Amino acid sequence: VAKTFAQVDEYKELYDGLTDAQVVAKVYTNVLGRTAETAEVTYWETQLTNGAFTKPQFIKAVVNAATEMVDGAYKYPTDAAIVNNKTAVSQYAYDTNSNAKDILLAGVTENEASTQSAIKEIDDAVAAASKGETYELTSGTDKGAAFVGTAKNDFFDASIAQNSFTG
């Protein structure tokens, strides 16, 4: 999965052309929402430079470390909550087939409210993308291209106006 992820345009836009130290710093910011400590940057930069890890393997290792459990509890609970919440939002976007590429995971933290806020943002984007046109029908015969509708959720208003025939 990590190897495939590295071939995605969004990954390339974020990480191509960066030094190993810059990649480490950016991954910690993007994945964990925090600045990497000096020891973390030094360790991972050395691992990447020496070829012990590829960049995709490094990202996977950061996620795995963040969600590591010891005796049934997360070793790094804040990091785990952030990764789990970002995963939940990403999964929600996928499950709803929202193609919500503009949803920023940077706002997703260890706080559940941030997860719900991002999910609402996805729902709002989906609703806006699917909102169709409103067409008002007349008392005559309505036809032609103007009444075909769109591929979105259109509304055809056929309100009945009071007239001498309907009372």
Per-residue pLDDT tens for 34-86? 999 999 999 999 999 999 999 889 999 999 999 999 999 999 999 999 999 99
Task: For the chain, give the percent of residues with pLDDT over 70.
Answer: 87
**Averaged pLDDT, 91-103:** 78
Residue 120 confidence (pLDDT)? 93
**pLDDT exceeds cutoff 70 at 158:** yes
Q: Which has more pLDDT, 60 or 143?
A: 60
**pLDDT exceeds cutoff 70 at 101:** no
Residues 6+ apart with CB under 8 A from 103: 89, 93, 118, 121, 122, 125
Query: Model's pTM, two decimal places?
Result: 0.72
Residue 5 confidence (pLDDT)? 57
How does DSSP assign the chain, residue by residue? Answer: -HHHHTTSHHHHHHHTT--HHHHHHHHIIIIISSPPPHHHHHHHHHHHHTTSS-HHHHHHHHHHHHT-EETTEESSHHHHHHHHHHHHHHHHHHHTT---TT--GGG--SSHHHHHHHHHHHHHHHHHHHEEEEEE--SS---SGGGT--SSEEEEE-PPPP-TTT-
Roughly how many angstroms between the first and final C-alpha of the chain, as a whole number?
67
Question: Which tokens is 37 given?
Answer: 């400590």
6 confidence band (pLDDT: 50, 70, 90): low
- For residues 48 and 7, give the distance between their C-alpha atoms in angstroms, rounded to a whole number: 18
Residue 7 confidence (pLDDT)? 60
Residue 33 confidence (pLDDT)? 92
